[in-house]
Amino acid sequence: MVETLDLSGRTAVVTGAGAGLGRAEALALAEAGAAVVVNDMGENAHVVAEEITAAGGRAVALTGDVSDWSLGERLVDQAVTAFGSFDILVNNAGIVRDKMIFNLSESDWDDVIRVHLKGHAATSRAAAVHWRAAGKAAGGPVFGRVINTSSEAFLFGAAGQPNYSAAKAGITALTLSTAQGLSRYGIRANAICPRARTAMTADAFGENTGTAELDPLAPERVATLVRYLASPASDEINGQVFVVYGKMVALMAAPKVENRFDAAGSAFSVEELDDQLTPYFSGRGQYETYAAYDVAALEKAALATEPASV
Q: Output the DSSP codes for 188-253.
A: EEEEEEE----STTHHHH------SSS-TT-HHHHHHHHHHHTSGGGTT--S-EEEEETTEEEEPP
Q: Specify whether 150 is catalytic.
A: no
The CA distance from 123 to 196, in Å, is 23
Contact 43, 119 (CB under 8 A): no
Grouping H, G, I as helix, E, B as strand and the rest as coil, residue 206 is: coil
Enclosing H/E stretch for 90: strand 88-91
Inter-residue contact 161 to 96 (CB < 8 Å)? yes
Task: Name 190's bridge partners.
Answer: 147
Please tell me whether residue 234 adopts helix, strand or coil conformation. Answer: helix
Whether 300 is a known active-site residue: answer: no
| The one catalytic residue among 118, 150, 168, 245 | 168
Bridge partner residues of 242 (DSSP): 192, 251
d(CA 130, CA 136): 10
Contact by Cβ (8 Å): 296, 250: no
Catalytic residue among 150, 164, 185, 234: 164
Strand order in the sheet with 241-245: 59-63, 35-40, 11-14, 88-91, 144-149, 187-194, 241-245, 248-251
Active site residues: 151, 164, 168
